[in-house]
Chain A
Amino acid sequence: MPRFGTLDVAAALADAPQVGELTDAPHWELPEATLMQINWEVADEPSLALTPPACHPSIPPYLSFFAGRYPDSPVGPFTLVQLRLVVRAGIRPRGYCLGAVCDSAEATDALRSNWGYPVVQGEASLSVRHDRVQARAAIGGRDVVIATLTQPETIGGADLMPFDNLHLVRLPDGSGAIVQIDPEYAIHSADRGTPSLVLPDPQALGMRGGISLDLAMVGFTFKADTDSAGALRPRSAPPAFQARRLAAKAPAVFLRTGSPSGCRPRAYGRGCPDRSAHRGVRGARRSCCQQAGCPAVVPSRRLWSPRWAVPGDLIGGDSTSIRCGGLGAARLCTPVADASIVRCRKPR
């Protein structure tokens, strides 16, 4: 049985953002964004203590620093700097956001209340020069992170894989949830380079417990049209393993963002008769409405993972990713009510 995180979720929830009605989250188009990601291996044990019990640590554990400058958004331009711990949930790595700084009060409020970013307002910048890209964040005039990428070399947009975010949030009913935020990226250009990461005040970005940087992995920047994902939608067909784990160990639950367009279009959207349902939905031309009864949606009962889930087994799997047709579409997961209901048969 792979290891799970040991985060004290109840304690962490006290500081977690309070989100409103998840289905009310707006959809933001964020064109012409400049983004930077730096991956950096970290020490094992402290990172395990920051990993939610519903997730596995990555092997090896690593941080994913992520900064974005968004020149155009519904709340005006803003820069967001995040520090994320890479965890495994399903078959893809996810960036569990430890802390973030945003330079816009309006954006900070929206990011916290709509999508659960654990973000505080401060000074944040992302500057692009010929030979380097540098992101800085400060709170109250004190630097908390300086990340630099030097010696950039051009790579293809298909060569990189930005991670989706996971946020620990408090729901209106007082319960907790882990929300997955999965923006889409239309990448215009990308560069890879040598990273450096300075964390004068790691605690300010959620690096509690003495977590320490180990091996620099890689840094890359890219320019892309992206979005805020959209409204959050609970799933009713949980990946069985995670549902069991959630019920047993963690007062947390996965939800997914509402944009359907991440699913592979040919695997998921073909045959949807209700084109009108697509209006106003990002990616609608490539996906289906996902409404109950739509013939284009693969019924969950046809999936293997739930059928084979047996309480007590050392098994798992990300049925959602299978449902969507592959790695590019992995999504999580399930409402609280279903977390205790493992859809399975008894052992023969």
Chain B
Amino acid sequence: MRFGVFYELSVPRPWTAESERTVYLNALEQVRVADEMGFHSVWAVEHHFLEEYSHSSAPELFLTACAMQTKQIRVGHGIVICVPEFNHPVKIAERAAVLDILSGGRLEFGTGRSATWTELGGFRANPDTTKNSWDEFVHTIPQMWMQERFGYEGQYFSMPTRAVLPKPYQKPHPPMWVAVSTPGTEMDAADRGMGALGVNFTTFKAQEERVQEYRRRIQNCTPAGAFVNDKLAAANFLFCHEDSAQGVGIGGRMIQNFQYLAGQLDMAKEAYPTTGYPSPGLLAATRRQASSPGEPGQPPEGIAIGNPEQIIRELKKWESVGVDQINFLLNASELIPQEQVLESLRLFGTEVMPHFTEKN
């Protein structure tokens, strides 16, 4: 089991001239501490127009800053949107390669397709075809990286032969992931030999079944890239405090705040009838999971808030069902003061991480 941190970069109203800068600088400081504590990776989402919920529209820039200020921690696109109205695939390949070079080969390349009408409508993307364009992108971008020259005639983009430059530092290319935003996408990941990023399911039993199915299918995959990345990562919340009540209380408020902001999103399916989004998406599942009935003073099952013992107990459950990595949201709307976030990270690093075998 290894651990990462991930960022939506939520910026609460009222917005001032310093609001966004404060959020970004706080996040960078957290990443530096996470690097010191031995976290495996930092992930940043790509979202557009999602007021307050996420102001992370240029994650490659944030991740570059992370890479420049750290030594070991890997930097992850979590994810880059593979829809032509958002990003041309050549630009995705180029930017990712630069990030990989500048980070010294620390890039994890996460892919996805957006799940909100706010974003899809904003770019006038067709919700019916986002999975198709994602599929085309994830098969062609590795070729851009590996071939000296690349040309292509496809359904969602075409280009004459050109040298797509620079090439990634990692050879043959960085590990590839897929954001799992709707049930079934983890199987798309398995079929393409890609890691499944953010597989949050409602129960451990369901999780275990899907992990098993992912493991089975990836054995017979046709890799989209040059190699198979058979990792499963789950998203979670983290607030670690020596006092259980404070850990659960403060962490719980963070979860509630995240839920509240996520509840403002107009998911694609809500606004636009389409077979492309069979469910409202990962956020809904995350909200349900984080809000499941629990006993007073105890966190919901599987959520990493509380004291180190509680968190170890919950993370062991994730480990037991076969999840390889947990990526933690550390704050929401800057609800938790920065010092407490840093203390939580340090406590997690010293008291919890040693209980998990794989070196982060």
User: Could you say which residues of chain B place their CB within 8 Å of the CB of A60?
Assistant: 49, 118, 121-122, 266
Chain B window 45-59, contacts with chain A (Cβ cutoff 8 Å), 1 for yes, 0 for no: 000011110000000
Asked if A91 is at the interface (CB within 8 A of a chain B CB), the reply is yes
Chain B residues near A56 (CB-CB < 8 A): 264
Q: Interface residues of A, CB < 8 Å — how many?
A: 47
Question: Which A residues from 286 to 334 make CB contacts under 8 A with B?
Answer: 298, 302-305, 307-308, 310, 313-318, 322, 326-327
- List residues of A (75-105) whose CB comes within 8 Å of B's CBs: 86, 88, 90-93
Nearest-neighbour CB distance to chain A for B22, whole angstroms, equals 16
Contacts A39-B272, A308-B253 given; indicate if A217 touches B121 (C-beta within 8 A): yes
Question: Could you tell me the distance between the alpha carbons of A241 and B259 in the complex, rounded to whole angstroms?
Answer: 12
Set B118, B245, B284: member contacting A59, Cβ < 8 A: B118
Q: B249 and A315: CB pair below 8 A?
A: no
Give B124-145 as 1s and 0s: 1 = Cβ < 8 Å from A's Cβ atoms.
Answer: 0000000000000000000000
Q: Is the CB of B13 within 8 A of A161?
A: no
Find B257's partner among A41, A218, A314, A318 (CB 8 Å cutoff).
A314
Knowing A59-B265, A60-B121, A93-B266 are in contact, say whether A218-B249 is a contact too (CB < 8 A). no
- The answer to whether B117 and A88 have CB atoms under 8 Å apart is no
Q: Separation in Å of the B161 CB from the closest CB of chain A?
A: 37
1/0 contact string of B261-305 vs chain A (CB within 8 Å): 111111001111111001010001001100111111000100000
Q: Do B246 and A348 have beta carbons less than 8 Å apart?
A: yes
Q: Interface size (B, Cβ < 8 Å)? A: 47
Least CB distance from A304 to B in Å reads: 6
Does A192 sit at the interface, judged by CB under 8 A?
A: yes
Tell me the smallest distance from the CB of A315 to a CB of chain B, in Å: 4
Chain A residues with CB under 8 A of B333: 314
- Whether A59 contacts B49 by the Cβ 8 Å rule is yes
Task: Decide yes or no: A1 and B13 within 8 Å by CB, A308-B256, A348-B245 being known contacts.
Answer: yes
The CA of A86 and the CA of B267, in the complex, are separated in Å by 13
What per-residue 1/0 map shows which CB atoms of B236-257 lie under 8 Å from chain A?
Answer: 0000000001100100110011
Tell which of A152-160, A204-212, A251-259, A274-282 binds the partner.
A152-160
Docked-complex contact A316 and B260, CB < 8 angstroms: yes
Mask, A106-130, CB within 8 Å of B = 1, is 0000000000000000000000000
- SS class of chain A's interface: helix, strand, loop or mixed? mixed
Residues in A with CB closer than 8 Å to B278 are: 158-159
> A66 near B: Cβ within 8 Å?
no
Q: Is B273 within 8 A of A220, CB to CB?
A: yes
A261 interface hit (Cβ, 8 Å): no
CB closest chain-A residue, reference B52: A2
Are A217 and B293 in contact (CB-based, < 8 A)?
no
**CB-based contact A217/B252 at 8 Å:** no
Bound complex: CA of A318 vs CA of B295, how far in Å? Answer: 18
CB contact between B260 and one of A192, A220, A317, A348 (< 8 Å): that residue:
A317
Q: Which of A91, A190, A304 contacts B263 (CB 8 A)?
A: A91
Give chain B residues whose Cβ lies under 8 Å from the Cβ of A160. 273
Residues of B within 8 A of A218 (CB): 271-273
Q: Are B271 and A217 in contact (CB under 8 A)?
A: yes
A217–B300 CA distance with the chains assembled, in angstroms? 38
> With A2-B13, A59-B51, A314-B257 in contact, is A41–B121 under 8 Å at CB?
yes
Q: Are B263 and A316 in contact (CB under 8 A)?
A: yes
Q: Which one of B52, B257, B260, B335 has the highest number of Cβ atoms from chain A below 10 Å of its Cβ?
A: B260
Q: Which residues of B contact A304 (CB under 8 A)?
A: 252, 256, 291-294, 300
Asked whether A58 is an interface residue with its Cβ less than 8 Å from the other chain, the reply is yes
Q: Judge whether B12 is part of the interface by a CB distance below 8 angstroms.
A: yes
B275 touches A59 (CB 8 A): no
Complex CA–CA separation, A155 to B277 (angstroms): 13
Q: Is the CB of A161 within 8 A of B257?
A: no
Which residue in chain A gives the minimum CB-CB distance to B277?
A159
A159 engages B275 (CB within 8 Å): yes
A192 to B276, CA, bound (A): 14
Are A91 and B284 in touch, CB under 8 angstroms?
Answer: yes
| CB <8 Å contact, B287 and A91 | yes
- CB contact between A155 and one of B117, B121, B260, B273 (< 8 Å): that residue: B273
Query: When chains A and B are docked, how far (Å) is the Cα of A302 from the Cα of B274?
Result: 36
Complex: how many Å from CA A326 to CA B183?
15
Q: Are A93 and B13 in contact (CB under 8 A)?
A: no
Residue among B51, B117, B245, B273 with most chain A CB within 10 A: B273
Distance, CA A56 to CA B121, complexed state (A): 19
* Chain A residues with CB below 8 A from B14, complex form: 1
From A215, A298, A317, B256 is in contact (CB under 8 Å) with A317
Task: Output the least CB separation between A34 and chain B (Å).
Answer: 16
B260–A241 contact, CB under 8 A? yes
Are A317 and B291 also in contact (CB < 8 A) when A62-B271, A241-B260, A307-B296 are?
Answer: yes
- Which residues in B have their C-beta under 8 angstroms from that of A303? 293
Q: List residues of A (1-44) whose CB comes within 8 Å of B's CBs.
A: 1-3, 39, 41
- Residue-wise, chain B 196-236 has the 8 Å CB interface mask toward A (1 for contact) of 00000000000000000000000000000000000000000
Distance from B47 Cβ to chain A, minimum over Cβ atoms (Å) = 12
Contact with A along B11-37 (1 / 0, CB 8 A): 011100000000000000000000000
Give the residue among B256, B262, B264 with the most A Cβ atoms within 10 A. Answer: B256
Residue ID in chain B nearest A348 by CB atoms: B249
**Which of B245, B266, B288 has the most chain A CB atoms closer than 10 A to its own CB?**
B266
A sample of 28 cross-chain residue pairs with beta-carbon separation below 8 angstroms, ordered by A number, consists of A1-B12, A59-B50, A60-B118, A60-B122, A90-B263, A91-B262, A93-B270, A155-B273, A155-B274, A156-B275, A159-B269, A160-B273, A161-B270, A217-B121, A218-B273, A302-B294, A302-B295, A304-B291, A304-B294, A304-B300, A305-B291, A308-B252, A314-B12, A314-B260, A316-B260, A318-B263, A326-B284, A348-B245
Q: Which A residues lie at the B interface, using CB under 8 A? A: 1-3, 39, 41, 56, 58-60, 62, 86, 88, 90-93, 155-156, 158-161, 190, 192, 215, 217-218, 220, 241, 298, 302-305, 307-308, 310, 313-318, 322, 326-327, 348
Besides the known contacts A159-B274, A161-B270, A161-B273, 14 further A-B residue pairs in the complex with CB atoms under 8 A apart: A2-B52, A59-B49, A88-B263, A160-B273, A192-B273, A220-B273, A302-B294, A307-B296, A308-B256, A313-B253, A315-B257, A315-B335, A322-B288, A322-B291
- A-B pairs with the 4 shortest C-beta distances? A160-B273, A316-B260, A91-B263, A315-B256
